[in-house]
Homo-oligomer: A and B are copies of this chain.
Amino acid sequence: MEKNSKQLYSTYTSLMQKAADLNYASAVLGWDLEVYMPPKGAEARARQLATLATQAHEILTSNELGRLLEELSASDLDDTEKNNVRLSREDYEKNKKLPSSFVDELSRQTSECFNAWVEARKKNDFGIFAPSLSKMIALKRKQAELYGYSAHPYDALLDEYEKGATVALLDPIFSGIRQQLPPILEQIKDAKQVDNSFFYQHFPKQKQWDFSIDVLKGMGFDFEAGRQDYSEHPFTTSFAATDVRVTTRVDEHNYQSMLWSCIHEGGHGLYEQGLPEDQYGLPLGSPASLGIHESQSRFWENCIGRGLDFWKFFYPKLQMLFPEQLAKVTAEDFFKAANKVDPSLIRTEADEVTYHFHVMIRYEIEKELILGTLDPMDLPAKWKEMYNKYLGVSAADDKTGVLQDVHWSHGSFGYFPTYTLGSFYAAQFYAQAQKDIDGLLPKVANGELTGLLHWLREKVHVHGRRYTSEELCTQITGKGLDPAYFLDYVKDKYRAVYGVNS
């Protein structure tokens, strides 16, 4: 009996790892597609990705796996094994709902849609993207039907990225944003404004790159187990905990473009590198959820990277690299500029307050697109209307408006809300880290980030998918997600930056 369980579990592991091999191979092809692939390679790459996805899906929905999981559920397993089997079984039930032909179609459409988005961005013309996007939305609607849902079809898609998240849960959070953030914005608007004009001088590409590598090293990113490359849109992908790729982009006339995305992706990368290697291909070797993933990137980008202490250490180095550009800028000026609040058009360059309006707009639009109450052709108009209403800004063109994000071209509907969840979790974790780690901020100011990384490894990374986002949050902080932490964090920060006192 004991021996039989071991054999069953080992067969289960082999199957899961075979599927993982195929999925990680897809990740390599996807990385190359966005980083190095020449344009004419797109068509063949699309079919190769479709085949890999189909092959992996066949394994993950095979009757063999189903039977194994059923038998294993009744077997004598240790705690780690039990959790893997439990989570795999949940995935299996979900995967079985998508026929291979649908997975294949979705993969092809994703490649086509991504290429259309690249082309549309290049030509600054949403019309080029719209037909592909419409097909994608139809597929996502079909996916929601295949998964099934009780209240809202969008719930079925949300669950893909954040297990348990629903419209019923998120609506209050986003309405909270619509209610509680505007007063803070108003106060800031009336305060003495922050000057961040020095960011928009000329910062040569190579030096920006060099500093980004130094920052990633300082954070603890292991370059023996990962690398950074350029891409149109920064992203993180993993081919194993031992091979994690982050990408970045450079705007020589806007230093912020690279800086924050680099720290952000670095946070994602550290999470992937911290997943347990011996759980390769298994649930406990995979990230908990997108919300938790995003909590790691935002923890580093916002709580640490936009904090004064971080720059006490890194700013003198930056100043040495760009003596002309930064001669008259102090570390405190730099900190304030890094936190300038200014309603703007581009989500990825938004400050920490207005950011959540960007997410809220996409959330509301996605719900409508999936419900079918908004025609994709009307997206640019809807986009302008909402940006005007909530942020008081208006995109001059599609590239800085509705075409700015890659997500929809990837078919990632239900993904954006995890950004806001990530910020909220990050703020709550950050408050806890300051309690748990003696003298955290002085250490940060000294460039000593190892203890912090160790804390994140132990509290978050090492658990993989063992706990849900809410369980993990409770385990780390003693309670589930509480938006009050984010509000407090924001108020503290803007007291320091703008002298406002809410």
Binary CB contact string for chain A from 342 to 353 against chain B (1 if under 8 A, 0 otherwise) = 000000000000
CB atoms of B38 and A21 under 8 A apart:
no
Residue of B nearest to A223 (CB): B38
Say whether A226 faces chain B, with CB atoms less than 8 Å apart: yes
Whether the pair A28, B32 counts as a contact (CB closer than 8 A) is yes
CB distance from A263 to the nearest CB of B (A): 20
CA distance A199 to B223 in the complex (A): 35
- Contacting A32 at CB < 8 Å: which of B21, B22, B32, B55? B32
Q: Is the Cβ of A227 less than 8 Å from the Cβ of B18?
A: no
CB contact under 8 A between A243 and B44, given known A38-B224, A224-B39, A226-B38: yes
Contacts of A21 in B (CB 8 A): 47-48, 50-52
Q: Nearest chain-B residue to A44 (Cβ)?
A: B240
Q: How far does the alpha carbon of A268 sit from the alpha carbon of B17 in the complex, in Å? A: 35
Nearest Cβ on chain B to A101's Cβ, whole angstroms: 13
Known: A25-B25, A37-B243. A44 touches B226 (CB 8 A): no
A239 within 8 A of B: yes
A163 at the interface (CB under 8 A from B): no
Chain A interface size range: 35 or more
Residues of B contacting A280 with CB < 8 Å?
Answer: 44
Contact at B22–A51, with CB atoms within 8 Å?
Answer: yes
Cα distance A131–B280 in the bound complex, in angstroms: 27
Min CB–CB distance A478 → chain B (angstroms) = 36
Bound Cα distance from A54 to B32, whole angstroms: 23
A172 within 8 Å of B by Cβ?
Answer: no
A4 to chain B, nearest CB (A): 23
A223 CA / B280 CA spacing, docked (Å): 37
Q: Is A41 located at the chain interface by the 8 A CB criterion?
A: yes
Residue of A18, A51, A222, A243 most packed against chain B (CB within 10 A): A243
Q: Is A122 an interface residue (CB 8 A)?
A: no
**Chain A: residues with CB nearer than 8 A to chain B?**
17-18, 21-22, 24-26, 28-29, 32, 36-41, 43-45, 47-48, 50-52, 55, 222-227, 229, 239-240, 242-243, 280
